[in-house]
Structure 1
């Protein structure tokens, strides 16, 4: 493997290491495995290339087109993943560790792509919330929208997840429509570069949408402006240095940090030795200490247990850790090496600081020779209230501290003393314990992972960030967020309140707004294919009288004999009804009967309805009619798309009695 020379990708060209390139040494045997950086990169050209080429190309695509691109890209990387696994042992990680990084990155990109297809519009504007009615007659409205920022996203990633760290940021950024410049940590940049090269070679991503820096960022941060975004993962100290950049502050550059934190795991007061929850807790703690040799921003650093279980937990966990095989990550070892000799030195330094307040119960446990190997260290702190170092110092390796608590509020207080974390976990069989802990601690943690014997078989694990959920946390954890489904996409977009008439909002959002112009099509809209249906296309049906016989038949046929439909005196006693009234679902059925077309046509199926509300009761003798308007179109496949129809029901006085959104699948073209 000697001679690896990871290259930067600048303005569409690969640039190899320069004369000042730094050697990267193996954490397993100390040999040189690569040389990286040292090239004179043109950062002004990189930013200009992203803004002039990548940004416009991405913004020209719809959210769904970008989502399809991400799905295809994840599939392409997945088809070549063994090339990444071949490099993975050089980082000190086992294949199982590598799966968290490589497979995790691919899965994350796939999930974000799916979120884009299902939860974002097939257009260029994301609608944030409902229309705000700010005028009496509804001629002047407001709508919050989000659009792609017209800058570049700079991703500065940590050494411990060279693939996942890149892909989990790229996915929401590209889905948002924003180009990115990726800067991986130098120690493991060769693995990032191998994956990045696949992205370029796939031909799926527009020119200028992605660029790569191997080495330092030079004056790049000094060149950023108000439309740019910096997203950082790493230590709290580095985050502070970066976010303090004078240009970032003066230009109000959006800065997001996800920093290492002193995550805690709490054993519930209801859990006793021998229970499934107890065994789960011990296994989870050991796993989080040894996966990636403890080099995870979400790893458990503080193990908080009831005073009565202090000895039992310590002994069980120590026994499990003593059985951990440490060795060459290319072999069958359970735990590999830290990423570098420098990382090992830092872990040992921090462990020595922890030893001033706690005792290593695994003293004497040894690891193989090699610059990156270190044995697990399990500290025991008898007085966590008096301790400071155990709540302030993180050894970024297979190191954790067990500490006792008196009662549940004390446990939450200890967990919160980490001053903000990415995740805190709780193992308990009592939902009330879970509730109390959540109320006391949620403000200090980005994620609460609560599990028991019911969920343990399907639970994802304390240290597993999921693309569906926010990854970040307050205080020491960086104060920012990543992932979280569409929430993560919005970090790379600008929220704007647009005010105007219904026609203006319809034009801006691509979604029909009540009060906007209605279009009379050449035929009933249910006779028209997805391709030709226009937003705003409307029909108004003939009226239908609702009779007492209709109400009684519906009641007996369905079994819904609620008194308001069947008992005149009881209905009149209800302040909401003038007497017996029609069932709401009877009205929906009548509405469908008024606007559907019975013969086969392009409408394939009704798939649901949203936002159903009843505004006014309908009495026997009232006549109802329907207005049906094409509100929104979303192409799902080449064969069909989803049309959302705005449906309103009115009585003979033109008073609105019901409203909902109907979803139908409509053929793209007739066969």
Structure 2
């Protein structure tokens, strides 16, 4: 780590002269200083557009996914450097793990999403294609393509590494160069992470720049294809959202803001239940992990009035066991806040809350922080408040103390609990602790209108639950109202946020050429070579085979029923079948599927290695005794995942469109077959 926290702009590190001193949250000693030099944001944006964007577009989704995976591995190999610096922010090893390895886990997750869910190339077909005319000559569909802009990511102080990486991963995968701006208080840790990223050489130059300091006129230099994302306070989000240039150019702005998240103890849970202790444990954990400096932390605990004293007593008992102090001291479970300024802010907000609440547990009850030199640290004791009349008191639903602070509040029943939860005017996450599935079914649809994520916690889920406060790459992170109204993560959804969606209309042949995927009705390529005999490189979209025909007899139905044990009446009961909507006995749908496979397979060993699934299977019309079926097999889609088997043979994924028709030319079954196909050496 450098003495002066530098910016990485235009391919060079900037900053030699110190300005604002950044102090250790543990002991107040200087850790680093911000740089005094002004940043040329015209240069930063130009570098992203002229260098970063072309470099990213030379790669496709699959290749960018590979880079993310390599970066995750590299950062994990050097993680101890980040842990050492993270200690200055007040983070315990557990806190650091959430931030540092939580960040690399997100990189791994998006590498997997890119590899498994995105195609080769830089266009995503967001189908299905649909016929727009009666004769099959005019169709339409949707595509997603890179926006061709720059992503500006503005982050809060509490997750200096994860905050950067969880935004970088989907935007990099989508082909957008990023300019990251961390919060000043902990920017020295973000700078250390970016130094490792640059040092690795894994990301193309220009794909990531770092702004250590203010954003200056950066937002004024953005254009329509660009994107701005923000994590931080609701007040700051509200100001950025109406920035004149963002409004004028309709630049997408995504906000994930701190919110007054809640946990509800359902009325079916009693102090004798395991779920009661799970509720108490979850609140205590959310108060003390990262010293409560999480946008997802539980700020309001809603409890049936008859259990209020029991919850308060158990929380006091648990909080008293939390050792606070220097994270380097053995046994310490909670460190300080990120800075003395943050300490003052939390203290002022607790004072506001105490104007209408009681102190249940706080500094008066908690042992002094452990460790040497901690007197100058930014410590704040776990603080539990009680609002006895929460329906009448607004502060508990409006004021957030961004630290180890939570307010208890009683409710009369589940409906009142849900009403209190909604008073927060939108949050990132809420937890419902209940034993009764009927209560969950009643509460969750109501709560979902005001919360971005909902955790239903009981003894069964607790075995594997990642907890109230842990956003996961595969699930949406964000919430309505006060929580910012935006969305992050959520698997492929986050990548799509950085892509541009367009509707495309034209003939099936033209659409097929554009999307790189066969559209029914497009021109086909038929030859004497069976498509299953072609290597992955030699297969072309539209390569097709029309099979010979097969007439279905009663013996086929009887034999298939005997093999499978499927004696459903529609296949075997002549009288009952005659009275059915079909008016006759019909073949098993899966017999039709199997018979079609027999029509189009090429049985000898060849490039097709394995069939590993079916997609979009539909049985359109019944097949009766005496009907004649025929299949058309067409190469629909190819994905080169750049993988090799144990013998070093390369392989790709091919999706085959299958149409099964009857003697009248009517479609009776439709599906995609997914196969692994070997590459020619």
- Separation in structure 2 between the aligned mates of residue 229 and residue 509 of structure 1, nearest angstrom: 25
SS at match of 1:542: strand
SS at match of 2:5: coil
- Separation in structure 1 between the aligned mates of residue 37 and residue 495 of structure 2, nearest angstrom: 32
- Separation in structure 1 between the aligned mates of residue 639 and residue 456 of structure 2, nearest angstrom: 37
Residue 140 of structure 1 deviates from its aligned partner by 1.2
Shift of the 18–135 alpha-carbon distance from structure 1 to 2, 3 Å rule, reads: farther
Does structure 2 conserve the Cα–Cα contact (< 8 Å) formed by 1:225 and 1:253? yes
Indicate whether 1:603 and 2:608 are aligned.
Answer: yes
- Separation in structure 2 between the aligned mates of residue 437 and residue 552 of structure 1, nearest angstrom: 50
1:203-222: CA deviations, max 9, x gaps?
Answer: 11111111111111110001
1:446-486: CA deviations, max 9, x gaps?
Answer: 00011100110100000000010111001110110111101
1:292 paired residue number: 290
Residue 232 of structure 1 deviates from its aligned partner by 0.4
- Separation in structure 1 between the aligned mates of residue 404 and residue 416 of structure 2, nearest angstrom: 26
- Separation in structure 2 between the aligned mates of residue 272 and residue 615 of structure 1, nearest angstrom: 53
2:146 paired residue number: 148
1:16-415 to 2 correspondences below 5 Å: 16-18=15-17, 21-332=19-330, 333-363=332-362, 364-366=364-366, 367-368=368-369, 369-415=375-421
**Structure 1: which 4+ aligned runs deviate by more than 4 Å?**
none
In structure 2, which of residues 631, 636, 639 is the aligned counterpart of residue 631 of structure 1?
Answer: 636
Residue 569 of structure 1 deviates from its aligned partner by 2.5
Q: How many residues align?
A: 667
2:440 paired residue number: 434
Indicate whether 1:652 and 2:651 are aligned.
Answer: no
Residue 131 of structure 1 deviates from its aligned partner by 1.4
Does structure 2 conserve the Cα–Cα contact (< 8 Å) formed by 1:424 and 1:448? yes
Does structure 2 conserve the Cα–Cα contact (< 8 Å) formed by 1:8 and 1:213? yes
Residue 38 of structure 1 deviates from its aligned partner by 2.1
- Separation in structure 2 between the aligned mates of residue 609 and residue 348 of structure 1, nearest angstrom: 59
Does structure 2 conserve the Cα–Cα contact (< 8 Å) formed by 1:157 and 1:184? yes
1:497-516 to 2 correspondences below 5 Å: 497-516=503-522
Residue 547 of structure 1 deviates from its aligned partner by 1.3
Residue 15 of structure 1 deviates from its aligned partner by 0.8
- Separation in structure 1 between the aligned mates of residue 381 and residue 304 of structure 2, nearest angstrom: 27
Residue 238 of structure 1 deviates from its aligned partner by 0.9
Question: Any gaps of 5 or more consecutive residues in structure 1?
Answer: none
1:70-123: CA deviations, max 9, x gaps?
Answer: 111111111100000010110011111110100100101111111111122222
Residue 521 of structure 1 deviates from its aligned partner by 4.1
- Separation in structure 2 between the aligned mates of residue 495 and residue 425 of structure 1, nearest angstrom: 34
Does structure 1 conserve the Cα–Cα contact (< 8 Å) formed by 2:4 and 2:17? no
- Separation in structure 1 between the aligned mates of residue 457 and residue 171 of structure 2, nearest angstrom: 32
1:621-657: CA deviations, max 9, x gaps?
Answer: 2221110000011123142111110001112222221
TM, length-normalised to structure 1: 0.98
1:518-560: CA deviations, max 9, x gaps?
Answer: 1124511111111211111001011111112212222222222
In structure 1, which of residues 573, 578, 581 is the aligned counterpart of residue 579 of structure 2?
Answer: 573
SS at match of 1:504: helix
SS at match of 2:478: strand
Residue 434 of structure 1 deviates from its aligned partner by 1.0
1:125-146: CA deviations, max 9, x gaps?
Answer: 1122311322112211111111
Residue 17 of structure 1 deviates from its aligned partner by 4.2
Compare 198-207 and 301-310 and name the one that shifted more. Answer: 198-207
SS at match of 1:326: coil
SS at match of 2:75: helix
SS at match of 1:652: coil
Does structure 2 conserve the Cα–Cα contact (< 8 Å) formed by 1:421 and 1:476? yes
Compare 360-369 and 40-49 and name the one that shifted more. Answer: 360-369
Does structure 2 conserve the Cα–Cα contact (< 8 Å) formed by 1:4 and 1:190? no
- Separation in structure 1 between the aligned mates of residue 630 and residue 72 of structure 2, nearest angstrom: 49
- Separation in structure 2 between the aligned mates of residue 129 and residue 338 of structure 1, nearest angstrom: 48
1:583 paired residue number: 588
Does structure 2 conserve the Cα–Cα contact (< 8 Å) formed by 1:17 and 1:36? no
- Separation in structure 2 between the aligned mates of residue 407 and residue 371 of structure 1, nearest angstrom: 43
1:4 paired residue number: 3
SS at match of 1:543: strand
1:290-326: CA deviations, max 9, x gaps?
Answer: 0011100000000101011100000100111111111
SS at match of 2:341: helix
- Separation in structure 2 between the aligned mates of residue 29 and residue 542 of structure 1, nearest angstrom: 81
- Separation in structure 1 between the aligned mates of residue 488 and residue 600 of structure 2, nearest angstrom: 45
- Separation in structure 1 between the aligned mates of residue 325 and residue 586 of structure 2, nearest angstrom: 76
- Separation in structure 2 between the aligned mates of residue 659 and residue 118 of structure 1, nearest angstrom: 23
Indicate whether 1:667 and 2:678 are aligned.
Answer: yes
Indicate the RMSD between aligned Cα atoms, in angstroms: 1.3
SS at match of 1:188: helix
- Separation in structure 2 between the aligned mates of residue 427 and residue 132 of structure 1, nearest angstrom: 45
Residue 274 of structure 1 deviates from its aligned partner by 2.6
1:616 paired residue number: 621
SS at match of 1:423: strand
Residue 52 of structure 1 deviates from its aligned partner by 1.2
- Separation in structure 2 between the aligned mates of residue 144 and residue 60 of structure 1, nearest angstrom: 23
